[in-house]
Amino acid sequence: MRILAILLAAAAASTLNRTPSPAMAAAPAPASAEAEVRLPHISIVKRGHGPAVVLLPGLASPRGVWDGVAPDLARDHTVYLVQVNGFAGDDPGANLGAGLLQGIVADLNAYLANEKAGPTLFIGHSMGGLTAVLFAKTHPDQVRRLMIVDALPFFPVLMDPNATVDQARPIAAMMRDRVLATYGKPADPAVVEANVKGLALKPESLVRMKAWAAAADPRVTAGALYDDMTTDARPLLPTIKAPIIVVVPWSDSAFGRERTLAFYSRQYAGASNVRYADIGDAGHFVMLDQPARFAEEVKRFVAE
């Protein structure tokens, strides 16, 4: 259950470099990538051919979080790599306004409809997992299966198992405003280091995460943080007929396998068709801590 600190840590990490440099903003796409399509709330890079797979990153994360699985997926799938505007040194677009999660869902729906993608596989990490659930509720005919990677349908239960949206709202507003106030100001590297450590177990994972966090616009992170904390998707779960696979990272240094799985099972109890894939010795960024095991689960998911 290392996601206990995820929202706070990701928010703190996004202040590592609060004013994206021109070099970051102008960084070219990887040579293997096809042209990037920019929409109001997201950008999308399309790769490969075959059945459609959408990859959704989490809070303050770029599409690069999927580098370990995207190339193999693109061998026999059409892979749509989503990135939230403002999370990789690019222009925030419409994400400085309210309703970021709904905006992502709307942009993605319009794009996939134009692509005639048909029923699609969704893999979402953290906030991306919550977004995938919202998409499945709004556009059920466009979803084949969901893989939710270390995300909860209602994050504030980590602070209070009986929390409600109304109770979470003032805390979410305080956290949003705290992150928003950091824009354009220098960060304390020691604070950033301490917070990022809660997101992964491996030193090499932390190095990559800090580089990503350096490019995230805290104005966008602040809005996304508020949306994430005030969205309760638990009532939606019984209405989602698409199969759901929840990837659960765990470690003995935290709560251990059985306790962690029991917690996630309670949160997704309302889902009618759900299974769990646990990956040990891993933190929230499980695809970085355990790339081979994570790739195995992705391969199993797309083959089902």
Domain housing 11: 2-303
Q: For residue 142, give Cα distances in angstroms to 54, 131, 132.
A: 11, 14, 11
How far apart CA 19 and CA 135 sit, in angstroms, is: 31
DSSP collapsed to 3 states, 31-48 = CCCCCEEECCCEEEEEEC
What CATH number is associated with residue 73?
3.40.50.1820
In this prediction, residue 182 carries a pLDDT of: 86
pLDDT band at 197 (very low <50, low <70, confident <90, very high): confident
Mean per-residue pLDDT over the chain, rounded? 88
In this prediction, residue 198 carries a pLDDT of: 76
Tens digits of per-residue pLDDT, 20-75? Answer: 333 333 333 333 447 899 999 999 999 999 999 999 999 999 999 999 999 999 99
The total number of structural domains that make up the chain: 1
Angle between helix axes 218-229 and 127-138 (nearest 10 degrees) is 60
First to last CA, the chain: 27
In this prediction, residue 189 carries a pLDDT of: 73
Q: Is the pTM of this model over 0.85?
A: yes
Tens digits of per-residue pLDDT, 64-102? Answer: 999 999 999 999 999 999 999 999 989 999 999 999 999
Please choose, from the candidates 277, 204, 231, 270, the residue with its C-alpha nearest in 3D space to the C-alpha of residue 128: 231
The three-class DSSP label of residue 113 is helix
Does residue 279 carry a pLDDT above 50?
A: yes
Give me the percent of the chain exceeding a pLDDT of 70.
Answer: 87
How far apart CA 6 and CA 130 sit, in angstroms, is: 14
